[in-house]
Copies of this chain bind each other. A is one copy, B any other.
């Protein structure tokens, strides 16, 4: 086991896969997780990225869906539909328990960090999963409606609209007044290695950077920061990253990712198919590592973790 203090800046599914590799080989692993996708629905506090990480590391995630729990039942949602309730966001019966637990603990005065630690402990996981902030931070997406631009929550864009509409703006509501949790600050300051997961730069990692202090901490530690490009061969393996980068005026390539992280990232890992882009990345003053990064392929996750812990 590796004793280095590893910190992974994390969104949901992509980060969870990478964390699964580290979890097997690191004694001192911390995920700092996006909360911009959190929402309160039916009175329940849902932390989508945190839950995806916990479920994935517990081998309890539905492999088929990539989110939620395996062997799930949907009796509450089915009844909610019959009652005419809002049922665009699927919540399995077992999954509901996570949101019920979290909401009850928050109502008792626990922080989101506390409630998350309790969930991680209940699942018997050996890492720290830290929401970047205990304050409300919500990713809001501006889309064009017939009546003009409208701002919707990230989950509305991502799930209800299936990220199928053009985005003209992204905003992190509450970020200005949010505080990094003490645990997050300490983890970043003390990390031997800080890895930016191959998560969506604009809606998974940027919310972390939007919390006052986070960007400066990373800039100071730039030599220890290694990002993995979520863009491979000019596209994203999943989700709206490619589309959003283009819509927001970024080049949709590993070079575009490099430019986006240039001030806070000393090393960028890009996929073998993008090897020809390495000189462009290096020209930005970022060390470029070329390797296989498609974690779904056999052996790649382990090799990638070895490279990142290198």
Report whether B122 and A84 are in contact in the complex, using a CB–CB cutoff of 8 Å: yes
Report whether A76 and B101 are in contact in the complex, using a CB–CB cutoff of 8 Å: no
Give the distance in Å from the alpha carbon of A138 to the alpha carbon of B77 in the complex: 29
Give the distance in Å from the alpha carbon of A98 to the alpha carbon of B280 in the complex: 57
> A140: shortest Cβ distance to chain B, in Å?
18
Report whether B41 and A104 are in contact in the complex, using a CB–CB cutoff of 8 Å: yes
Give the distance in Å from the alpha carbon of A217 to the alpha carbon of B149 in the complex: 52
Interface presence of A119 (CB below 8 A): yes
CB-CB nearest in chain B for A86: B104
Report whether A93 and B76 are in contact in the complex, using a CB–CB cutoff of 8 Å: yes
- Given known A44-B42, A73-B93, A93-B73, contact A80–B107 (CB-CB < 8 A): no
- Chain B residues with CB under 8 Å of A118's CB are 83-84
- Chain B residues with CB under 8 Å of A77's CB are 97
CB-CB nearest in chain B for A69: B79
CB-CB nearest in chain B for A104: B42
- Given known A75-B94, A83-B122, contact A100–B40 (CB-CB < 8 A): no
Give the distance in Å from the alpha carbon of A93 to the alpha carbon of B77 in the complex: 9
Interface presence of A82 (CB below 8 A): yes
Interface presence of A23 (CB below 8 A): no
Q: Please give the count of copies of this chain that the complex contains.
A: 2
Report whether B76 and A43 are in contact in the complex, using a CB–CB cutoff of 8 Å: no
Of the candidates B76, B78, B82, B96, the one whose C-beta lies within 8 Å of that of A122 is B82
> A91: shortest Cβ distance to chain B, in Å?
8
Interface presence of A215 (CB below 8 A): no
Given contacts A82-B122, A83-B97, 8 further A-B contacts (CB under 8 A): A43-B44, A43-B100, A44-B44, A75-B93, A79-B93, A79-B96, A84-B118, A85-B97
Most chain B CB within 10 A, of A75, A80, A103, is at: A75
Give the distance in Å from the alpha carbon of A98 to the alpha carbon of B45 in the complex: 17
Report whether A107 and B75 are in contact in the complex, using a CB–CB cutoff of 8 Å: no
6 residue pairs bridging A and B, Cβ less than 8 Å apart: A43-B99, A43-B107, A73-B93, A79-B93, A80-B100, A84-B122
Give the distance in Å from the alpha carbon of A103 to the alpha carbon of B97 in the complex: 16
- Given known A43-B44, A44-B42, contact A85–B104 (CB-CB < 8 A): yes
Give the distance in Å from the alpha carbon of A80 to the alpha carbon of B97 in the complex: 5
Report whether B83 and A119 are in contact in the complex, using a CB–CB cutoff of 8 Å: yes
Of the candidates B45, B76, B94, B97, the one whose C-beta lies within 8 Å of that of A100 is B76
